[in-house]
Amino acid sequence: MRDVAVIIPTLRRPESLARALRSVFAQTGAAHRIAAVVVADNDPQGSAADLIAQLRAETALPLIYAHAPTPGVATARNVGLAHTDTPLIAFLDDDEAASPQWLTALLEAQAATGADVVFGPIHGRVPPGTGWTTDYLERFFGRDGPRETGLTDIIHGCGNSLMVRATALPGADPFDTAMDETGGEDDRLFTGLRQRGGRFAWAADAWADEFAPPHRATLTYALTRAFAYGQSPTQMAAARRDWPGVVKWMLVGLAQVGVWGALSVLSALLRRPNRAEIYDRCVRGLGKVFWTKGFEPKLYGQAMLKSGTGAAVTF
């Protein structure tokens, strides 16, 4: 039974994309259930097309090229979905590489829990030369969770996930394209699913590696993304017109800035080895306070194209 499609959005990262695809080609156990591997190329110039044509010779799996010429992370995911009708969808990012039992573990966790969305753990990998920030960056680009597979209340990102299409991905374009340049389209999707009574699960053995390229493996980039992550709860409350919730999250943010801001200054003066973690908590608090559009960092879409390297950090 071929009932699952693997979707990989990509934007001008050919070497990384090839590694991600080969990790899917090498799946064991549940590989026979893969109906299609869909690459959603978010480059207006369609730069991934030649690579996909070359890699078709390496696999018996149906490898589908889907051009998503309007740059944006939500748009790319929606275009990928439009090219398959399978009832189960696995998402892998183009900077990730799945372990051989990755898909098997996701599918088994979904079958055991009946969850609408299943998340797997991620090893963060950073290049040499990141110095005192290495441990922080590996944790930042990674994802950890319980040692046992089961239901969870914690929501993670789309990369390394499995979704039941009928319940988790409603409509033709389930990802909100208003989030194309800022990200957070998965947070918005999952928040809506939770409000509808959706269930989430953790697949402890569904490992993937995430390889941060040099231009992203920096403290500046990580803290910018942490600021964006911090904005999410306040933004979600505003999207629901839950104004008491907005006030609550802004007050939480102010408290976090007060505590972690003071500790940030102290840890910087003392050059504490864990100071990056403290900076991270401080900027997440700032994000809860400064959550409106004027403060949204643009990390994807056109911003990435303009940077030429995918290292865009603009406001």
Q: Could you read off the pLDDT of 296-305 as tens digits, one per residue?
A: 887 776 666 6
Residue 311: pLDDT band with limits 50, 70, 90: very low
* Local structure of 78: helix, strand or coil: helix
The secondary structure of the chain in percent helix, strand, coil, rounded to multiples of 5, reads 45, 15, 35
Q: How confident is the model at residue 304, as a pLDDT? A: 64
- List own/partner pairs for 29-33 with CB under 8 A and 24 or more apart: 29/100, 29/101, 29/103, 29/104, 30/4, 30/103, 30/104, 30/107, 31/61, 31/103, 32/2, 33/1, 33/2, 33/3, 33/4, 33/103, 33/107
Work out the average pLDDT over 238-252.
95
CA dist., res. 174 & res. 186, Å (int): 9
**Has residue 79 got a pLDDT over 90?**
yes
pLDDT digits (tens, 9 = 90+) for 252-283: 999 999 999 999 999 999 999 999 999 999 99
Residue 308: pLDDT band with limits 50, 70, 90: low
Pair 76, 181: CB distance under 8 Å = no
Q: Classify the phi-psi angles of 160: left when phi > 0, otherwise alpha if psi is within -120 to 50, otherwise beta.
A: left
Q: Is the pTM of this model over 0.75?
A: yes
